[in-house]
């Protein structure tokens, strides 16, 4: 089996195999940290910062920042999940879900730097247009999806590639299941399951790239194995599951 296909199948299995249980959050909470390895900080809409741990609630307007060597997984109120890489910053610009009010659906995340993997939840299943991921070079829409995103700005030297060279600066995406649309001032591109995409900058059209030029966003399997301390064990030698 092709090694890239193996990674895709493993990544789908790792996230899909995790039981989805309803998130019992406080009225203002829109998510919760379920797995964590390292230091995760949230800056709230009021400007106050707090250090998060497993079971910490994510609030509307939070800006989440993972430190070096930190991986974190967040489960949102509609059962969507996002796994953050080290040195990643994501703002929760909007998140609203009410099972009885699909017209109020909203799931908007703004990735300011770094990388993540995401699996869409109930909002994505019933109201795909209400889900968006914004990045510095493009906006990503979903079509019932499991995908990875990596934004490089002279800071992706440790990310493995087929060529052995660091990924080029810009936005890299890969899709393990479903499809995404990548849109910016230069145009729009659909990236389907098993494909890779690349966006150089905000004015350059998004493109599908050959597998040998693609970059997979991967996470260590240990992110799904919490220890009693509320920190997952992360080993750089772990076989990677869910993205590079």
Q: Looking at the domain that runs over 3-224, which CATH code has it been given?
A: 2.60.120.1440
Task: Kindly provide the b/e burial profile for residues 144-172, where b requires at least 16 CB atoms within 10 angstroms of the residue's own CB.
Answer: ebbbbbbbbeeebeebebeeeebbeebbb
What gap in Å lies between CA 149 and CA 22, rounded to an integer? 26
Mean pLDDT of 31-47: 96
pTM above 0.85, yes or no: no
Residue extents of the structural domains in the chain: 3-224
- Phi and psi torsions of 146, nearest 5°: -125, 115
What confidence score (pLDDT) does residue 163 get? 84
pLDDT band at 237 (very low <50, low <70, confident <90, very high): very low
What gap in Å lies between CA 36 and CA 162, rounded to an integer? 28
pLDDT tens digits along 125-179:
999 999 999 999 999 999 878 999 999 999 998 898 888 889 999 999 999 999 9
Is 3 a residue whose pLDDT tops 90? no
What confidence score (pLDDT) does residue 158 get? 86
Is 6 a residue whose pLDDT tops 50? no
Cα dihedral 215/151/8/109 (nearest 10): -160
What gap in Å lies between CA 32 and CA 107, rounded to an integer? 15
What's the mean pLDDT when you consider all of the chain? 84
What confidence score (pLDDT) does residue 21 get? 41
Q: How large a percentage of the chain has pLDDT more than 90?
A: 73
What gap in Å lies between CA 100 and CA 106, rounded to an integer? 14
pLDDT tens digits along 178-235:
999 999 999 999 999 999 999 999 999 999 999 999 999 988 887 755 443 444 433 3
What confidence score (pLDDT) does residue 162 get? 86
Range scoring the smallest mean pLDDT among 41-55, 61-75, 157-171, 222-236: 222-236
What confidence score (pLDDT) does residue 234 get? 35
Among 15, 13, 94, which Cα is nearest to 59's? 94
């Amino acid at each position: 089996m092709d090694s890239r296909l193996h990674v895709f199948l493993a990544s789908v299995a790792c996230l899909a195999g995790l039981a989805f249980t309803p998130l019992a959050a406080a009225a203002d909470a829109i998510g919760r940290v379920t797995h964590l390895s390292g230091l995760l900080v949230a800056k709230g809409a009021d400007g106050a910062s707090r250090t998060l741990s497993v079971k910490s609630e994510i609030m509307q307007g939070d800006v989440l920042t993972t430190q070096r060597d930190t991986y974190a997984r967040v489960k949102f109120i509609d059962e969507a999940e996002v796994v953050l890489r080290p040195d990643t910053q994501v703002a929760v610009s909007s998140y609203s879900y009410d099972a009885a009010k699909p017209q109020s659906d909203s799931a908007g995340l703004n990735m300011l730097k770094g990388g993540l993997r995401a699996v869409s939840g109930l909002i994505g299943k019933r109201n795909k247009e209400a889900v968006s991921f914004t990045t510095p070079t493009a906006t990503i829409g979903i079509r019932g999806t499991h995908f990875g995103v990596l934004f490089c700005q002279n800071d992706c030297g440790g990310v493995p590639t087929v060529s052995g060279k660091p990924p080029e600066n810009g936005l890299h995406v890969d899709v393990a299941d479903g499809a995404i649309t990548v849109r910016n001032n230069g145009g729009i591109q659909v990236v389907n399951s098993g494909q890779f995409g690349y966006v150089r900058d905000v004015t350059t059209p998004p493109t599908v790239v050959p597998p040998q030029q693609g970059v997979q966003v991967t996470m260590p399997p240990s992110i799904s194995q919490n220890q009693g301390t509320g920190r997952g064990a992360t080993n750089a030698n772990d076989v990677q599951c869910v993205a590079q």
